[in-house]
Structure 1
Amino acid sequence: MPQFELANFAPQMVWLCIAFAILFFGIVMPTLPKLGRVVQARADKVTGDIDSAAKAKADADRIEADYAAGIASAQESARATLDAARGSAAAALDAKLAQSKAALGARAEAADKALGAARAKAMGEIERVAADAATQIVEKLTGTRPDADTATGAARAALA
């Protein structure tokens, strides 16, 4: 193999260095700046995308916080409205109950008066019937009719 002979080694090394220099300075050197610009552009785009994503996340977090605050405010407002409605309903119910209680009290008092009058009238009738019955019984047993005041007093004493 000619490439491994020592006599051919030095010229092959020179041609290797020349070929390397041509390839390095002719191909690699012009393309390195272009490659660097592409890599830098990609890095800048990734950094920009990360920054815009961070801004979008911050905006989304702010919107979420505003939404949560709005929900909490609406819930508090609804609770306050509900409590006010419950309070007014309870007050209206209490007023109606007081009115009904007063009306029932008046009706009960009127009924008690009517019952007392009916009881007094019934007791008067019972006394009269008892006095008449006692007068007739005494008259049948003794043959003499007692006076009305004595019969009424005896009936009243027996009923009491």
Structure 2
Amino acid sequence: MPQFDFGHVFWSQIAWLAVTFVVLYFGVVRLTLPKLGTVMDAREASISGDLAAAKAARDSAGAVDEAYHAEMNRSREAARSAIAEAKAAAAKSTEAKLAEAGVKADAALTAAETRIAKAVAKAEAEIADAAASSAQAIVAKLTGTEPKLDAAKASVAARI
């Protein structure tokens, strides 16, 4: 077999190998690698630009987020102070209404106590008059002489 006859073919195969290697090497290195390099450079530039844009967007989002949280905190504090003011105003209003109601209740209590005192005094006077009349009638029945009404009233008042 001629392909195994290394004595005659070896140097020619080495020569063809060298020629093929040189052609392929220069074909790949000179023609393909520059095109591949420009594609890789463009891709790296695109990726770097995208990364820079993403970093800028992240920084911008962080600033917007901080501003948002700061505004939310200010709004919460404003709401808390408004609620505290409303509670204070409601407490003052309630205290004023309670004070007014207390004054009205005290006035009504005083008026009721006055009416009760008058009714008690009137009842005591009527009881004293009835007791004096009864005493006068009893004395008249027992002794046969009718005492004066003023004397009976004085006697009843002394006993009460």
TM-score by length of 2: 0.89
5+ long unaligned stretches in structure 2: none
Identity level (%) = 39
For the aligned residues, what is the CA RMSD? Answer: 1.6
In structure 1, the partner of 2:103 is: 102
In structure 2, the partner of 1:2 is: 2
Q: Secondary structure at the match of 1:67?
A: helix
C-alpha distance in 2, partners of 1:53/1:38?
22
Look up the equivalent residue of 1:11 and give its one-letter code.
Answer: S
Alignment map for 1:116-135 (pairs within 5 Å): 116-135=117-136
C-alpha distance in 2, partners of 1:50/1:142?
132
1:118-138 Cα shifts (integer Å, max 9, x gaps): 221221111011100111111
Shift in Å, 1:81: 0.7
TM-score by length of 1: 0.89
5+ long unaligned stretches in structure 1: none
In structure 1, the partner of 2:88 is: 87
Shift in Å, 1:147: 2.4
Q: Secondary structure at the match of 1:144?
A: coil
Using the TM superposition, name which of 51-60 and 79-88 deviates more. Answer: 51-60
C-alpha distance in 1, partners of 2:21/2:2?
21
C-alpha distance in 2, partners of 1:156/1:109?
28
In structure 2, the partner of 1:155 is: 156
C-alpha distance in 2, partners of 1:26/1:116?
130
Matched length: 159
C-alpha distance in 2, partners of 1:2/1:13?
16
